[in-house]
Amino acid sequence: MEWQQLEYFHTVAKVQHFTKAAEILSISQPALSRSIANLEAELGVPLFDREGRTVRLNRYGERFKTRVSRALKEISDGKEELSNLLHPDYGVVAFSFLKSLGIFAVPTLLNQFLQEAPHIRFQLYQQATNVMLDQLEQGEVDFVLSSMTETRKSVEWKYLWEEEIFAYAPMHHPLANKGEIHIHELENEAFIAIKQGYGLRTIADELFNQAQITPNILFEADEVVTVLGFVTAGLGISLLPDITKLDYSNVVRLRIKDSGSRRKIGLAWKSNGYLSPAAERFRDFLYKRYADNME
């Protein structure tokens, strides 16, 4: 079995068509067909159900594809690892972060880091906290920057900074002049919530549970900008941190007296995963950037 055969098989399995796969691989269709036939002969089972040049993985092919995909990724990661060791000032960092951090915090951090390491590139993702941690465990990203609201055995966290959570109310809301409130005062108010899976939602749920009340959720969003828009329109109250660059001119921010009204932002990575020199350099940068907070 040759490495090239595995690459050919993987491509055909993805596109489900010999002619298209041959074009992608820059080989002739007959040569590709022979390579797959030789692979099937060596394995002793057919991997595809054929309908002319269109093919479909059968149950043997599906199982084999899982193993081949894993093997190809291991080799690709190994090549990248060696390349990064030879060129520590280059490389790619796969980085997932909360959408609320993409308004100001992450762009500012990347701007500062890239002034020190201009040749390092980033693959950036934005997801809910639970989805990002799934990405981390599956090896799809190097780091997650999120609120530290979920623990997993295979994930390590490093605290970086903390943000106070406020209640945001429409400008002319009856609570607007209070300055500060207890969560139980929101019991009968329409509430604009962040969707389940996000750290902010976890914090809000814990505050409501602590006050032994069930919020009257009018709408759930996955963007803080959308949440703020609903509050501005007078549709309800929400719990959010103070995010730089957002327009708060038509809402009132109320301090929350209850304990637990803060979100801790941390950097997460897979505890037994490989980090390239570029990724380690970015982590060291964040450690230095927030050194005073970590003492």
Q: Is the pLDDT of residue 294 over 70?
A: no
Report angle CA 115, 86, 279 to the nearest 5 degrees.
Answer: 45
Q: Give Cα separations from 254 to 83, 120, 212, 215, 292 (angstroms).
A: 52, 41, 20, 17, 28
What residues have CB less than 8 Å from 128, skipping those under 6 apart?
195, 196, 197, 198, 222
| 149 and 270 fall within a common domain | yes
Q: Is the pLDDT of residue 82 over 90?
A: no
The closest alpha carbon to 231, from 154, 166, 171, belongs to 171
Q: 280 in a domain, yes or no? A: yes
When pLDDT is cut at 50, 70 and 90, the band that residue 117 belongs to is very high
Dihedral (C-alpha) 79, 83, 84, 88: value to the nearest 10 degrees? 170
Domain of 281: which CATH number? 3.40.190.10
Average pLDDT value for the chain = 91
Q: 247 in a domain, yes or no? A: yes
Q: Is the pLDDT of residue 86 over 70?
A: no
Residue-range definition of the domain harbouring residue 268: 91-160+264-294
The pLDDT score that the predictor gives to residue 257 is: 94
The pLDDT score that the predictor gives to residue 83 is: 74
Number of structural domains (the chain) is 3
pLDDT in tens, 7-38: 988 998 888 888 898 899 899 988 988 998 99
The pLDDT score that the predictor gives to residue 232 is: 94
| 153 and 137 fall within a common domain | yes
The pLDDT score that the predictor gives to residue 81 is: 74
Q: 212 in a domain, yes or no? A: yes
pLDDT in tens, 125-171: 999 999 999 999 998 999 999 999 989 999 999 999 999 999 999 99
Please give the backbone phi and psi of residue 97, each rounded to the nearest 5 degrees, phi first.
Answer: -150, 160
Q: 42 in a domain, yes or no? A: yes
Q: 59 in a domain, yes or no? A: yes
Domain of 60: which CATH number? 1.10.10.10
Ramachandran bin of 101, using left for φ above 0, alpha for ψ from -120 to 50, beta for the remaining angles: alpha
